[in-house]
Structure 1
Amino acid sequence: MAGTNSKPTTRSLISPARYVQGPGAIAELGSHVARIGANPLLLSDDVVRGLTESAITSSFEEAGLPVRFEEFGGMPTAAEARRVAEIIDKHGVDVVVGLGGGAAIDTAKAAGDNAGIRWVSVPTAASTDAPTSALSVVYTEEGAFESYRFYTRNPDLVLIDTRLVANAPARFLIAGVGDALATWIEARAVQRGNGPTMAGGRATRAGTTLARLSWDILWEHALPAIEAVRANLVTPSVEAVVEANTLLSGLGFESAGLAAAHAIHDGLTAVPHTHGLAHGEKVNIGSITQLILEGAPTAEIREFIEFTTRVGLPTTLTEVGLGDVEDDVLRTVVEAATAPEETIHNMPFEVVAEDVLDALKAVEPLARSVRAAAGLPEPKAPKRH
């Protein structure tokens, strides 16, 4: 899997059993869950529960299902997954529904796997491509990346209500764009090296094509979709970006492979400076670093920096709290990003830590130059809370 040097000979593609998307889709949740289990548990935080409980209760009652919520602890740790699994066992739950963001969804998968039951993903924002996958990202209590946890199957259902997406803060959709844009950048790198995917084996043409389709949709629709969400509107561009962020990026990253961009993200979680940032915001720094590391054409890198700045993603180290740090901090990032098990080793060349450090440090001056030439604002450091 990630970080292995062996070249797989078979190809594979994996996906959730069913994907449902659209405005008001949450009202259909009960009918879909009833096909999967009879005694569900909904894992969410209090904010998400407040936004969805009324519609879910009506939907579940109509489908003849009991309604049982469990509050998510906030961090997708191994301990939290064990805690939720104990509740599943205690109440005889046969399907767990991860409701909210990627952290709650990843924990629901882990708890479901621990308890030996099925699981469902119901994202309330299009902020990551986690909902469709057969893996969870496990973090430490402090918020640092710990490991990937792989499962033998994908969710039985992924359901996303685009009205909820449109009513969520636009920053969530923007972060999802950052996560999804990396999908093609990484997929093509893995394809060049015939490396392994997260699904096992080499990428199928279908997996690679879905990764590219996500990329194409985002370049066409991301900017108008973000403006629509700022006005709490569901437009065709919003629907397109939600599909790109959630379904296409999810299938693409899992069945076409991860490389340096997500490894850099994982490295960024190893230092406290970045812990207030969304997943996709850190991934975008990883994407720029990967483009520099692989020697992508200058015009391509400049276009990517300009576009993602306009989207609202960080394109400088300053914006992720690393603009004025000592080299030792950046070396900590690189050390974590180049760990033996990391996906950076799926790049089609040998990765050397010093090269990664130089690429990471090159992000700041290059992005500042691009932004100045395009008349874009000076980067600002994030506010400390």
Structure 2
Amino acid sequence: MSQIFKSPAAYVQGRGVADEIGTHAASLGEHALLLADEVVLGLVEDRVLASLEDAGMDASSVEFQGESSEAEVDRITEVVRDRGADVVIGAGGGKALDTAKAVRENLDGGAMVSMPTVASTDAPTSALSVIYSEHGEFEEYWFYNEHPDLVLVDTDIVADAPTRFFRSGIADGLATWFEADATYRSDGDNVVGGKPTRAGHRLARLCYETLREHGRSAVDAVERDAVTESVEAVTEANTLLSGLGFESGGLAAAHSIHNGLTQLEATHDATHGEKVNIGTITQLVLEGRDDAFIEDYVEFSREIGLPVALSDIGLEDPTDEQLDVVAEAACDPEETIHNQPFEVTPPMVRDALKAVDEIAERVR
């Protein structure tokens, strides 16, 4: 199989760039539709529509209902068709952006713009959507041939968002390296349908190094709604480096365990990245990393406010039956956990999840 690397067509990041979206999007089409939830519309709608109209585009908006479900994709698709829009702009978190990508896929042509208002996941750059049930349970990935035509990240907006989302993005980005490295070592397949390139592998490593070097300072700055060079570095790592690293580098156990955790309703209040962090620690246990390595990772996670125990994501004293549900889902034949360079079985995952709690208790 060939090595494959793919990416969005353009990436723009900086303070105040929301006001420049028209300049960057005008060449993509004539009528843009902004998709965002009520809160995000209140933050960016006036600025974005004004910039698009100043650039000569027709522009309108539609409110996203909050879940990237098949039903919501179908609803928004009909709105886009009714209005004749040829550019779909998804603004907000990963679910809004994933919905916008799915809507673009349903259209005959057209462009898609990712405008994350939080640096909480690596969804903005990817050519896939994570589809959930209307109740928030993971269902499947939808893969596309086309990447976003533009990713635009306004770091003023990112820094003003709740710090929890910024931390969540760091967790998602940290996982990128461990999963890409596992895929590379196993000669597994990446997310874009090929073998990992060296570029994808090294970008995943750069993502990890950037987050370890700048993560603490960036979180401290965002706590004060400040934009510093560390915030810019971590925003790029959370969004661009992690996005390129996971797609072209590959996913492995951490995200499969996240998907398993979503099967338990108790975890639904935890963010994507928070559940992924538990998945990362579980992956490190599965890989047999030494105590010092895992404890260092847990200590760093705790320092920046990330969950390190199952109770931190809503699972207080889980039963073996609950852990078996997670483990069985994580080891589904279609899951990326099979990119680990060794066979992984549900009992191994269940026992590794138990070990996560023991490690968290020890590292205090």
- Compute the TM-score of the two structures, normalised by the length of structure 2: 0.98
**Matches of residues 189-268 of structure 1 in structure 2 within 5 Å?**
189-268=182-261
CA distance in 2, matches of 1:166, 1:318: 28
Q: Which residue of 2 aligns with 1:64?
A: 56
Q: Which residue of 2 aligns with 1:294?
A: 287
Q: Which residue of 1 aligns with 2:265?
A: 272
CA distance in 1, matches of 2:345, 2:38: 44
Long gaps (5+) in structure 1: 1-8, 372-385
Match of 2:21 among 5, 8, 29: 29
Q: Which residue of 1 aligns with 2:337?
A: 344
CA distance in 2, matches of 1:80, 1:192: 38
Q: Which residue of 1 aligns with 2:68?
A: 76
Moved more, 32-41 or 54-63: 54-63
Query: Identity percentage over the alignment?
Result: 55
Shift of 1:240: 0.1
Which consecutive segments of 4 or more residues in structure 1 shift more than 2 A? none
Shift of 1:336: 0.9
CA distance in 2, matches of 1:163, 1:296: 38
Q: Which residue of 2 aligns with 1:41?
A: 33
* Secondary structure of the structure 1 residue equivalent to 2:115: strand
Q: Which residue of 2 aligns with 1:108?
A: 100
* Secondary structure of the structure 1 residue equivalent to 2:58: coil
CA distance in 2, matches of 1:353, 1:274: 19
CA distance in 2, matches of 1:287, 1:43: 31
CA distance in 2, matches of 1:348, 1:228: 38
Task: Check if 1:15 corresponds to 2:3.
Answer: no
Shift of 1:45: 0.7
CA distance in 1, matches of 2:77, 2:316: 41
Residues 264 and 322 in structure 2, CA contact (< 8 A), matched pair in contact too: yes
Moved more, 257-266 or 328-337: 328-337
Q: Which residue of 1 aligns with 2:304?
A: 311
* Secondary structure of the structure 1 residue equivalent to 2:240: helix
Residues 8 and 126 in structure 2, CA contact (< 8 A), matched pair in contact too: yes
Shift of 1:200: 1.2
CA distance in 2, matches of 1:53, 1:41: 11
CA distance in 2, matches of 1:27, 1:52: 9
Output the amino acid matched with 2:317.
Answer: D
CA distance in 1, matches of 2:49, 2:139: 35
Question: Measured at CA, do residues 309 and 275 of structure 1 come closer, stay the same or move farther in structure 2, by a change above 3 Å?
Answer: same
**Matches of residues 26-175 of structure 1 in structure 2 within 5 Å?**
26-116=18-108, 117-175=110-168
Shift of 1:58: 2.4
Measured against aligned partners, the alpha-carbon deviations of 1:137-176 in whole angstroms (never above 9, x if no partner) come to 0000110100000000110000000000111111110000
Shift of 1:54: 2.5
Measured against aligned partners, the alpha-carbon deviations of 1:325-371 in whole angstroms (never above 9, x if no partner) come to 21111111111111111110111111111111110111001111012
Shift of 1:67: 2.3
Task: Check if 1:358 corresponds to 2:351.
Answer: yes
Q: Which residue of 2 aligns with 1:382?
A: none
CA distance in 1, matches of 2:45, 2:186: 47
CA distance in 2, matches of 1:327, 1:342: 21
Residues 49 and 60 in structure 2, CA contact (< 8 A), matched pair in contact too: no
**Matches of residues 322-341 of structure 1 in structure 2 within 5 Å?**
322-341=315-334
Q: Which residue of 2 aligns with 1:285?
A: 278
Residues 299 and 363 in structure 2, CA contact (< 8 A), matched pair in contact too: yes
Output the amino acid matched with 1:319.
Answer: D
Moved more, 85-94 or 264-273: 85-94
Measured against aligned partners, the alpha-carbon deviations of 1:48-69 in whole angstroms (never above 9, x if no partner) come to 0111122213211210112200
How well do the aligned residues superpose, as a CA RMSD in angstroms? 0.8
CA distance in 1, matches of 2:248, 2:272: 20
